[in-house]
Structure 1
């Protein structure tokens, strides 16, 4: 699929009759591309690379509709390379061998090849490794495009031979410029009032190609002289789902944002990210499980009710279903965001886990072991155990750690919420323990 976002030269416009608007607005030169000034501006990375006369292998990382394919094609034109394009979705090792052999033939004639690989992250490790020899010997200049984080999806060897360039989603200014270009090309204004124009920009979600497709649909739907308001536009176009893949970066980015907003005690931001995920079709029970996790990780004993509330909200959604159940999850989200925060439980758990793994299988002290047989009693099992309920203050102060490990300190309550009371209680018990020792 092609990307585009820029003004188009008027030359040859007559030949574009009948083509989709997005295709007619495809930039003819790199200077025509809008929306990526950090790459193609006067001091942009690609601008400097072309000026130096040296074009190395690249990985273009960014959301759909930001110009990755178009820029790769124009780089080939301006760098005097033959442009070859494949998609990792439809290509296998046999296809790659044919492409590499053709590139070698061109190289013998003095023609360089820029190989553009769309969705390169979909190639497996062996397929990605097959690029290395032809990159190293100069047979091809590789430009891979991916919507996924290259650090996680591409082999280290491939990344070490390429430069990763980030393409940014279009902002309101660049999308507005695209609409202006579209009106110039169409020779008539968009059939939208001011508010509807803002809505169609938001519907595009930073995707230039999507914006032009939506604009073209609006032109097709409008009767002579008709101008759509925001409500009518949404009815006519239907609503374009936000960019959100539950198995990919969009999913993890929003979950991370929700978790950090809750941790940062910002109920408004937390609600925003929660509802964005509802709107994008995320499984509400997944969000319920994440809220339960936040209750233990970021609030813990500062407000023990947080776990109860989060779990109750998850169960309420399970009981009510959609759309009624989402409100319970929203209630839990706000409760967690406004609760006192403490990661003392989380830190203590991690520290105890680490010690348990490092110390090995140490036996508990014999005085706290049961002695159901005479042999075990003779071995000292249970000898000297003090039943706490029979002791003053219901506290014996005995040591329960393995003798070879010694007493450890994992849990350090903070001076917030219910943990203030817990800290006082622990201080009192420590005082009694010292006195009885």
Structure 2
């Protein structure tokens, strides 16, 4: 992971410091926790890590944060700060044999009075059984586990493991933190061959990833550029970092949730932003079309009955045109939904009716509305007394349609917005006729 620091004072060369020709990110790794950039809420005196270090005792923890925010550096420096032996494994490259070897070495060190901090990078990549394998060694104190993950621990890690470790959240590096990182690079390598505006663009292009930023800076240094690059020239020279987005992981669910809630909240600008975020990151457009259809029936419903046909038409248009032309149809549907009147009355009615249906079981409808295709059924009363509404005054009979053992229920309650205002008027009119007929 990226090694980040902010202290501008010269540091004495340590025996484990990298060679002069090592990558820039490696040469800029911090020598102490107070040199970590952008994570003061954890490493500062009042932060969880700062308090543990001051007490001289670490608990097992999971470091959860985006790539390039200092997770590996923190783990390494934690061990140094409290005088623990440091052992590191990666879930990408390590298997059961590697873990057994690490635990055996930790047991041996413990017998010699040496505590071990076991750092497990990408810990979410271990399966559930492998994660369970950590538990006895953590419980016995053989190791203090520090796991690093870019994925939501709630989804990716065992509950048993989470109950024995504190989850600490690392922040995406903001522009100020990334600027400090470039300051350190320039102290070491000299001024970057970019204008002030291009420097800002370089920071923005990193998308919060310190490692990526340093790699971009190293590329600029290696190119021996004669004249400083402006933002346009920088954009041609360097590739922008692709947004972090795993279509089957938390980033996917976070963005679709943000899109849905922006539509529900009638903010077309935010809704379009999150739609763009997902499409630019490579989300399957038909997945978004399906979600827009769901929004149409859940959050708009009868307040604007055209919302659903709009979304289905957008799906058809996308399938007909393909990408990127068809994505414009998804944009239109998204904006239609965000600017439509909102009602969840249909959604609430469905939930209430489903609940009622489960609770009432197999109640028979009243006989007057039962079909009577046979003589026997007619003889026992099926269909007797049925009123044909088209022949009734006002085209409305007001008959009872509920099972005899069940009181009439109200599931659907239209709101006073959009088309549902008219629906509300109709229902009120029919209710008034029922009362008059009953009287």
TM category (shorter chain) comes to: over 0.9
Q: Residues of 1 paired with 2:300 and 2:214: CA distance?
A: 46
Corresponding residue number in structure 1 for 2:396: 395
Pick from 153, 167, 172 the counterpart of residue 170 of structure 2: 167
Contact 1:218-1:233 at 8 Å conserved across structures? no
Moved more, 373-382 or 252-261: 373-382
Could you list the runs of 5+ residues in structure 2 that have no partner in the other structure? none
TM normalised by structure 2 equals 0.95
Q: Residues of 2 paired with 1:231 and 1:379: CA distance?
A: 86
Q: Residues of 2 paired with 1:262 and 1:307: CA distance?
A: 14
**Secondary structure at 2:368 match in 1:** helix
Could you list the runs of 5+ residues in structure 1 that have no partner in the other structure? none
1:270 deviation in Å?
Answer: 0.9
1:171 deviation in Å?
Answer: 0.4
Contact 1:340-1:416 at 8 Å conserved across structures? yes
Residues 1:95 and 2:94 aligned together: no
Q: Residues of 1 paired with 2:221 and 2:250: CA distance?
A: 33
**Secondary structure at 2:5 match in 1:** coil
Corresponding residue number in structure 1 for 2:295: 294
Superposition map of 1:29-428 within 5 A? 29-186=32-189, 188-223=190-225, 225-428=226-429
**Secondary structure at 1:16 match in 2:** coil
Residue by residue over 1:80-123, the C-alpha shift from the partner in whole angstroms, topping out at 9 and shown as x without a partner, is 11111112223333332222121111100001111111111222
1:10 deviation in Å?
Answer: 4.3
Contact 1:7-1:26 at 8 Å conserved across structures? no
Q: Residues of 2 paired with 1:77 and 1:413: CA distance?
A: 64
Pick from 10, 20, 24 the counterpart of residue 23 of structure 2: 20
Contact 2:198-2:230 at 8 Å conserved across structures? yes
Moved more, 392-401 or 405-414: 392-401
Summarize the Cα distance change of 1:15–1:310 in structure 2 as closer, same or farther, 3 Å threshold: closer
Q: Residues of 2 paired with 1:113 and 1:392: CA distance?
A: 87
**Secondary structure at 2:77 match in 1:** helix
Moved more, 87-96 or 138-147: 87-96
Aligned residues: 434
Contact 1:397-1:432 at 8 Å conserved across structures? yes
**Secondary structure at 2:353 match in 1:** helix
Q: Residues of 1 paired with 2:36 and 2:304: CA distance?
A: 53
Residue by residue over 1:197-236, the C-alpha shift from the partner in whole angstroms, topping out at 9 and shown as x without a partner, is 122112111111111111112223353x222222222221
Corresponding residue number in structure 1 for 2:5: 6
**Secondary structure at 2:92 match in 1:** coil
Q: Residues of 2 paired with 1:199 and 1:56: CA distance?
A: 40
Moved more, 377-386 or 57-66: 377-386
1:399 deviation in Å?
Answer: 2.3
Q: Residues of 2 paired with 1:222 and 1:71: CA distance?
A: 33
Contact 2:206-2:240 at 8 Å conserved across structures? no
1:362 deviation in Å?
Answer: 2.5
Q: Residues of 2 paired with 1:194 and 1:405: CA distance?
A: 75
TM normalised by structure 1 equals 0.95
Contact 1:60-1:143 at 8 Å conserved across structures? yes
1:15 deviation in Å?
Answer: 5.0
Contact 2:366-2:404 at 8 Å conserved across structures? yes
